[in-house]
A and B are shown apart, each in its own frame.
Chain A
Amino acid sequence: GESVGLHLPTLSVQEGDNSIINCAYSNSASDYFIWYKQESGKGPQFIIDIRSNMDKRQGQRVTVLLNKTVKHLSLQIAATQPGDSAVYFCAESLMDSSYKLIFGSGTRLLVRP
Chain B
Amino acid sequence: NAGVTQTPKFRVLKTGQSMTLLCAQDMNHEYMYWYRQDPGMGLRLIHYSVGEGTTAKGEVPDGYNVSRLKKQNFLLGLESAAPSQTSVYFCASSLGQTIMNTEAFFGQGTRLTVV
Give chain A interface residues in 82-103, CB to chain B under 8 Å: 89, 93, 95, 98-103
B11 to chain A, nearest CB (A): 16
Number of interface residues of B (CB under 8 A): 30
Instruction: Determine whether the beta carbon of B42 is less than 8 Å from that of A104.
Output: yes
The interface stretch among A12-20, A45-53, A55-63, A66-74 is A45-53
Instruction: Determine whether the beta carbon of A100 is less than 8 Å from that of B109.
Output: no
Q: Sort chain A's interface into a size bin.
A: 20 to 34
Supposing A43-B109, A99-B31, A105-B42 touch, asked if A31 and B99 sit within 8 A by C-beta, the answer is yes
- The contact of A99 among B43, B44, B94, B109, by CB within 8 Å, is B94
- The contact of A34 among B35, B50, B58, B103, by CB within 8 Å, is B103
Instruction: Determine whether the beta carbon of A103 is less than 8 Å from that of B43.
Output: yes
A1 to chain B, nearest CB (A): 8
Residues of B within 8 A of A34 (CB): 102-103
The binding surface of chain A is classed by DSSP as: strand
- The contact of B106 among A9, A31, A44, A98, by CB within 8 Å, is A44
Instruction: Determine whether the beta carbon of B102 is less than 8 Å from that of A99.
Output: yes
Name, among B41, B48, B103, the residue most crowded by chain A CB atoms within 10 Å (CB to CB).
B103
B90 contacts A by Cβ under 8 Å: yes
Instruction: Determine whether the beta carbon of B42 is less than 8 Å from that of A106.
Output: yes
Scan B43-57; emit 1 where CB is below 8 A from any A CB, else 0. 111001010000000
* A1, B44: Cα distance in complex, Å: 13
* A16, B95: Cα distance in complex, Å: 36
14 contacts between A and B (CB under 8 A): A31-B99, A41-B109, A44-B43, A44-B104, A44-B106, A89-B42, A95-B99, A98-B102, A101-B45, A101-B102, A101-B104, A103-B42, A103-B43, A104-B42
Task: Give chain A's interface residues, CB within 8 Å of chain B.
Answer: 1, 4, 9, 31-32, 34, 41-46, 49, 51, 89, 93, 95, 98-106
Those 10 A-B pairs whose CB atoms lie nearest each other, nearest first:
A43-B106, A99-B96, A103-B42, A98-B99, A105-B42, A103-B43, A44-B106, A93-B102, A99-B31, A32-B99
